[in-house]
Every structure is written in structure tokens, then in C-alpha cells.
Amino acid sequence: MPHIVCQPCFECKYTDCVVVCPVECFYEGEKMLYIHPDECIDCEACVPECPVEAIFHEDNIPDEWKEYIEINTEQAADTPVITEKKEPLADE
């Protein structure tokens, strides 16, 4: 089961998580990051790196953010991979 980026990342987009990902499964959208569920190896390295606590194991996503499972799947397929730290939207 993969990890999923949820609502707290929206218009925030910290990228601390992407530099610790051993399989480069993060993708960058305009307003947030996404994890490709087929590429995530469930290592949990990204979870403690997220300063806004936006990354959840698929089995532990709060009910109000369950739609982010599908959002991550769809958006990861249509956005570029990100592997380097960038300035977050929250600081712009």
C-alpha cells in the first residue's frame, strides 16, 4: 500500500519529502505534490520530512481526504517527477 499526499500540501508544496525518496515517486503539480502509487515502495522516509503532515499511508488517510487516493493516481500520471528541493509555495 502506498503513501498519499493529502490536502495539507495544497498551496504549500514543501519539497523536503522528495529528496529522501529512494525511488523518485513524487510528482509536481501546480499547487501540490503527488505520489505515484505504483512507484511508492512504502518506505515511510517521506512522512517525517513533511512539515505540514500531508503524507499518509493509504490505510490511514482521514475520511475527509480519501479522494486524494484517486487524485494522486491521476495527477502523478500527468505531472513531471520532482527529485530536488525547491522553494515552497507557502513561502512565496
Question: What is the grid cell recorded at 23?
Answer: 525511488
pLDDT in tens, 13-22: 999 999 999 9
pLDDT in the model for residue 1: 76
Q: CA separation (Å) from 32 to 24, 65, 72?
A: 16, 14, 10
pLDDT surpassing 60 at residue 92: no
Domain ranges in the chain?
A: 3-81
Q: How many CB atoms lie within 10 A of CB 9?
A: 24
pLDDT in tens, 25-72: 999 999 999 999 999 999 999 999 999 999 999 999 999 999 999 999
CATH of 3-81, one of 3.30.70.20, 3.40.50.300, 3.40.640.10, 3.40.50.2000: 3.30.70.20
